[in-house]
Each structure stands twice: as C-alpha cells, then as structure tokens.
Amino acid sequence: MNDILNKQWHTLPEKEASDLLATEPDNGLDSPEVARRQEQFGSNTITQKKGRGLVVLFLLQFHQPLVYILLAAAVVTSFLRQWVDAGVIYGVVLVNAVIGFIQEAKAVRAIEALAHSMTSTATVLRDGERRQIAATELVPGDIVLLQSGDKVPADLRLLSSRELQIDESALTGESVPVQKQSDLLPQDTLLADRINMAYSSTMVTYGIATGVVVATGNSTEVGRINELIASADILATPLTNKITRFSGLLLYVILGLGAITFVVGLLRGSSWIEMFMAVVALAVGAIPEGLPAAVTITLAIGVGKMARRNAIIRKLPAVETLGSTTVICSDKTGTLTQNQMTVQEVHSGGNLFLVSGIGYAPEGNFSCDGETIHPLENPALRECLISGLLCNDAIVVKTDTEWHVEGDPTEAALVVAARKAGLEREQFAAALPRVSAIPFESQHQYMATLHGKPGSRVVYLKGGVESILARCSHTFSSTGEQAALESDALYRAAGQMAEKGLRVLAFARSESAPSDSALEHDDVAGGLTFLGLQGMIDPPRPEAVAAVRVCQAAGIRVKMITGDHAITATAIARQIGLLGDTGESEQTVTLNGKDIEALNDTELITAVERSIVFARVAPEQKLRLVVALQASGNIVAMTGDGVNDAPALRQANIGVAMGITGTEVAREAADMLLTDDNFSTIEAAIEEGRGVYDNLVKFITWTLPTNLGEGFVIMAAVFAGVQLPITPVQILWINMTTAVLLGLMLAFEPKEAGIMERSPLDPRQPLLTREVGERIVLVGFLLLAGSFGIFEWELHRGSGVAAARTCAVNVFVFGQIFYLFNCRSLRHSMFRIGLFSNRWVLAGVSLMLLLQMLFTYLPAMHTAFGSQSIGLREWGLIIGASVVVYIIIEFDKWIRNRKNSGPKGFDRQ
C-alpha cells in the first residue's frame, strides 16, 4: 500500500485510482478496513516540528553568562575545600536549571496537547452510509464528499464533480478559484494545474464533488509546506533582548568590581585566599540568582491566566510583547463578529419586515411598521421564506450546548429565518421533495432547486438581485396575488439594505418546471415570479464592541482587515465603534485591496496610519500592511487563519491564529492561539500581558537593591579593612530564600486599577528606567547602612562575629520583607491597593519568617551557615532599620506623585 501511495494520481483514471486504493466509490471503506488503515498510516495530522531533546533542554538552562560566574566560583571554592559554600552555590544553580527546565517542558507538552485538541471535520462514505467524522480519522481510500464552504481535509483524487471551484491560494498563491474536473492529466502537469486533484487545507468555493483520499498528514502537499515553515521559527522579544543586554552589562560590572576589590584587598595586606572568598561573596551577592527563575515563572503564570481566558501562548516571552502592542489588525468574520449570519430584514409584497434575534437559535419575531406580525398570515412573506428554506443545502442542528451549522452560513441564516416563522423542511418533505438542483455558480449568480412530484412541480431560486430580477416578469402582492414587477423600486430597496451592511439575496419561483428530473439553466431563464429580498449580516459580538472601547482607551488602535466588501466592512466597523467620531469619509477610513495594490511601500506607510478598515484584502497583502505599520514604530498584533497568512503572522510582533478555523500552518507560525476566535480574547491577553510586565518590573525593582546592597557591604568591608559582615553562603541563603518566598509572590499580584487606561509601553524604553534605577540605588544604600551599621555596632558592643553576621543577614531579610510591601505598587501605598488583595504575599512572608527563625536559632543552621542566636534587643534594631526602609520609600512615592502624576518608569504600575 505504501508504494501505491507514491503514485502520480493525476495521471490515473478515476476507476483505476479507486481500484488501487481498494475502495468502492458508492460505499466507501468498511469499518474493519478503516481500523486496519488507521493503524498502518496513523492519524491525519501534521507532525509538529521536533524540538530539542530533554537532555539538551536541561543543559541549555546553564547557558547564561551569570550562571557561568557562579559555576566558576563554585569550582574554585571547591578547590579551596570550602565545601559548604561550594555545595550551596551548586545547589542554587541546579534549582534554577530545574525550574526553567520544568517550565519549558510544560510549554512543549501544552503545545502538543493543543495540536491534538483542535481538529476539523469531513463528510465521508463508510459502510455505505454518509457520516461526518473528525478529519484526523481519515485514511487513504476514504471517499470524501465536498460542497461549497468545505475545507478539503486531505489530498484527494476527484472521482466526480459538478461546477466545482476550489480556492487554492493558501497552497499555490493563485488568487482566482480553480475550476476542477475529474479527467486524467499528463504526468508533467504542474501542481497548480492539476485540476483533477483537491489538496488539503484549500477551500471549496462553488459546486459539489466526490473524491478518494490519496494522502494524509505529512504526506499531503500542505504537510510538506508546514515542515519548511516550521523550521524557520525564531523569536526575540523586547523583554528577552533587554534581559540579555542587562545580563551582559551586569557580567562586566561584576568582573570589574571583583577585580578592584581583589586588588584593594591585597594592597591592604589581606591574603589572596581571603580576598578570593571576598570576591566570591561579591559575585554571588551582586548576581540576581532568582531572576531567571522569576522571569520564567512570572511569564508561566501569565500564560496560565491567559489560557483561562481562551488565549494559548505558544512562546513564553511573547507574553510581555502583548503589553507593548500599539495596533491590532483583526479579521472581521468570527473575531469581531459572531460568525453567525442572521437575517434582519425581509422585503416582500411591497412591505419591509424586521426580524429580531441574533445567531442560529430560531428565536425571534417579525414586525412591520413597529407592530409584531405573524409571518405565515402574509402569503408573499411566507413564500419568500419557503424559497429560502427549500432552495438551500445547509443544515442547522442543536448540540448539547449550541446550534451547529453544516454548510454555508448564509444558507443557514435563511433556514433560521424560516424557523422563526414556524416553517420546517419536514413540513414539505412529502409534497415538495427535492428532485434536482443547480448549484450556485459565480458566472450565473444564483442557485435553483426543483421540487414536487410529476405533474405538480415548482422551482425555487435564490441569488444576486440583478440575476434574479432579470429572470422575473411579475411578483406577488401582500395578499398573494400576481402583481406587476417594479424593478426600480426593488433595486432601491436592495440598495437601502446594502447601505446598512446587509448582504442581500433575491428569491423567485416558477411553476413552469421541467417534466423530467433534470433542472437546467434554460428552465429558469425567464418568466419567474419574484418573491422578495432577504437581508442578512454577521452581527458584531457584543463583547467585541466593549473590548474595542477598552483598547481605544488604552491607546491601542484597532484596524479591521477582511475579504468582505467595503460597504459591509465599514458598516460593521461603525457598529463596533472602530470609526468613532472621526467624521471622516468612508474613502478616508477604508482602503480596499485594489488601493493597496496600487500604492508603493512609502505611500502605503502613510495610508495605513490614516485607514481603519481594509476591505477585499488578499492574504498576501496582510504582510505588506504589517511591514508598513511596523515602519512607523508600531508594535503590531495580527490575526490570521490560512496558510498564506503565515508570513504576516511571523512578521507581526504578535501573530494571533484562530484556534477553531485556523490551519495547522497558521497555528505553527503564530505566537498566540485564540481557542474561541474572539476579539475580546485579544484584548484580555493584552491586559494580562500588561499585568505580567508590571509584575516583572516590580520583581526587578524589589530584588536588585538586595544584590546592590550585598555588593556594597562586601566592598565597604574590604575597603575599610574589616571582616565581611556576611559570607558567600549567607548571601546565597538570603538571595534564594527571599527570591522564592518573597519576590515570586509578586508574580501573583493582581492587575492594578486603570491598567487599560494608560498608553502602551514604549519598546525602546530600557528595563531599568531612571526612576527605577534611582529607587534601586536608594534602597541598596539603606540596606548597606542598616546591615553594615548594625554589624559594626554589635562588634563594638562585644558580640561575636557569628552573632553580628546573623544580625546583618536579618537586616537584609527583614528589609526585603518591608520593601516587598512597598513594591506591591510602585506608585501607591499597599493600603490603597488592598493589604489582603494578594494573599500569596502574606503566605510567603509567613514562611520566610519561619525560615529566619530556624536560621537564627536552629543548631544545624548554625553549623551550615555560621549563624548564632540573638536576643530581643538585636531584633529591635533589625525591625527598626526595616521600618525605616518602608517609611522612606513611601515618602519617596508621595514626593514623586506630587511632583509628577505619571513619571516614566512608574506610570505603568
């Protein structure tokens, strides 16, 4: 069978193709054969790009400049037989590596799970029955049935077709749908010219067909493309760049200060071993060992919060980029709108009827001139609704939780409108069974169906207004009587509906039906009875309207990109609130695909800044729009779902793929997946991204003063020629315990009020702004003064070195505890944001207090860390110094708030 699958299927006749695959076109495969082939060929899914192995993933956790310093210090410390110090340093490095490894492994598993959870469906023949199955269950030899609106689920050799056209732009770049047929072709026929094949992930635009599956999963043409695209997956975000630059700078600063300290110590007569241990203490003190783990865990917590709000982050650092987004380029259908076409107006019998209700639920009323009416009492309206119901291939069924459509959404809207009037297909099954049909075709602009029994047949038509009116000679009055056709009045009515953004279809019927069972175009060429117009629209999501308003208040511009017509797109944009009160003309705010094509790159940069709606946009034009927006310094989030969207998704700062309608290739190229395809989820993710960035800045603002203070203490002791107030192992105790139990609790800090009322973060703004840097230096000197001062005071009073060092360690720890409450908000008091709004902080402080009691009073800790029990008087000095830190920082906040209500660096917190 594997050899057979490598055949040039386009060169084989239909029967030979079916025979080679051992399948019957009329019955399909039987269940036992399906099970056997599923075991042989596996699932019809595209294998994700193979990532790094677990061993490599773990070893890469050590590939950081600051970790190299710690490892070098540990090696030399071991050589000097300082086993406790060396053991603690090794332990710190190992804990950081394990935390990072676990988080990255979780991300890999989450992506794999997502790939399995999001699947499309296919209609097949199995055991002689028509079934709808998950596309992942398809096997070579399955007989697949295609109709307009379907996504081709695997590579197929067409066996039969009628007026079939397939949009292959996602695969070949061909912008015009390809007319398909089943005849065999020469062996050297190019992929784009193989008109007897249908390829996975392409879309059926017109007609119907039957095909046999010849390739699944990675063997499909789109599977091969996916492997090429996935191999070029690279990410660098503002955060990762900033942390990399910060780490490199810190590396040189530490090495420079270490060298100065070592030389000064030697010049003062200290031994080189003593000075090396001092330099080790300086290095481990100045290195924020908890920073890599804190960044990873904070981002992972943000990923969890976003997942609960239907946004799956594929690439961890992308969380932070969301907080910097300045422009969102969103698709219209299903993202800003409900993707549930709804009939809102019906013009029939000279009257305009309004239809209430939204979506596919058959709930709503008909009204005319402000009064509710019963639609079945109006003969013209009734016939118009019946025409929409019977000249229709869509099926609307209710699942456990929602209404589900099989077929074209436009046709589904007609079914629902008829159901709101109390009409069901089953009512007409006996008297008006369907006999024949002419599928909708672009060159004819209508669909027709033949119903009834010999001698009493009727034809129903639906299609474009011009196409239907041209075939009609009369119409119905409101009483159901034949009346003269007033085409001009009907064109005006259709135009008024179109101006509201409604998609308008016209309906007609003919009782001059053919006597045989075949319906041809000539049978409906003229003499028809016009029944009416139905206007429908994909209504905006109410939550999208609110989300757009929030984004605009946050300084984020929202632009709509759609393949729909400009009038419809602009009407929806106005309903959603994208146009606001600009007062600009439609030509100013709306740019269509032809306009984009005519502009050069420089002109497009100016045009995209001015325009809000981009209509009739081809997928490949999205890339130009992204590049043009980025050229003006924008951070762009772009939505997409097709294979051809992949370049734009990758080019965008945040590529957003649709989880429900998106292709595997689009999902692979994206940074974020929307599991509900809803615009409000993008807004929610940006909100969470801002919160994550805020909490990262809070952690950095909290942790760096400790590292600075510890470095200052070591240098001050060396320069003064006195004993070190804290040892390397004590520094590591401070850094790791406080980072885990205190600093990481800031990752759980709730988003502060007004987070979506401030401007996006400038990506060029450094990680440490001037104001943040000033606060870090201030707190670092306060910790230096407190720890060094109390250490020297205790020695002066006659306390031992161990007791004095225990006091110095506790000054750092308790100073960090009080400073932690300062950092819960960099602008406001903890009492304003709520003392108990982050219970994780209180839990972390409680555990930290317990550990410090053990550090101070447990004999085993005395042995390991060189600590010693202290009394109440010493605790009084420690607590007093810590309270001073808290009071000074709160006073600093007050001064800054009075001086500037929104200073750079703190206006985001």
- Active-site annotation, residues: 331
Task: Return the number of other C-beta atoms located less than 10 Å from residue 487's C-beta.
Answer: 15
- Which among 391, 514, 522, 373 has a CA at the least distance from the CA of 455? 514
Separation of first and last alpha carbons in the chain: 63
Please report, for residues 409, 476, 491, the alpha-carbon distance to residue 488 in angstroms, rounded to integers and kept in the order given.
29, 16, 5
3-state secondary structure 576-600: HCCCCCCCCCHHHHEEEHHHHHHCC
Joined together, the tokens standing for residue 226 give 């996916």
Residue where the block lists tokens 């003229």? 526
Please report, for residues 281, 868, 871, the alpha-carbon distance to residue 860 in angstroms, rounded to integers and kept in the order given.
22, 10, 19
In whole angstroms, give the CA distance from residue 331 to residue 625. 13
Do the beta carbons of residue 136 and residue 43 sit within 8 Å? yes
Do the beta carbons of residue 311 and residue 672 sit within 8 Å? yes
Residues in the chain: 909
For residue 887, give every residue at least 6 positions away whose Cβ sits within 8 Å of its Cβ, in sequence order, or none: none
- Which among 867, 860, 852 has a CA at the least distance from the CA of 730? 867
User: In sequence order, what E strands does 337-484 have?
Assistant: 342-348, 351-355, 366-368, 371-373, 395-398, 403-406, 434-438, 446-453, 456-463, 472-476, 482-484
In whole angstroms, give the CA distance from residue 632 to residue 645. 22
In whole angstroms, give the CA distance from residue 894 to residue 828. 8
H/E run at residue 158: strand 155-167
Residue where the block lists tokens 């990255």? 104
3-state secondary structure 641-671: CCHHHHHHHHHCCEEEEECCCCCHHHHHHCC
Residue where the block lists tokens 């929610």? 684
In whole angstroms, give the CA distance from residue 660 to residue 668. 14
Joined together, the tokens standing for residue 696 give 């990262």
Task: Determine the 3-state secondary structure of 388 from DSSP.
Answer: helix
Give the helix ranges, DSSP H, for 11-126. Answer: 14-20, 31-41, 54-59, 65-79, 83-117
The three-point CA angle 86-87-92 to 5° equals 100
The residues facing 147 across adjacent strands are 208
Residue where the block lists tokens 């677990």? 54
Do the beta carbons of residue 787 and residue 716 sit within 8 Å? no
In whole angstroms, give the CA distance from residue 281 to residue 715. 10
Burial 685-719 (b: 16+ CB within 10 A, else e): bbbbbbbbbbbbbbbbbbbbbbbbbbbbbbbbbbe
3-state secondary structure 468-482: HHCCEEEEECCCCCE
Do the beta carbons of residue 663 and residue 201 sit within 8 Å? yes
Task: Return the number of other C-beta atoms located less than 10 Å from residue 859's C-beta.
Answer: 9
| Chain Cα centroid distance, residue 161 | 38
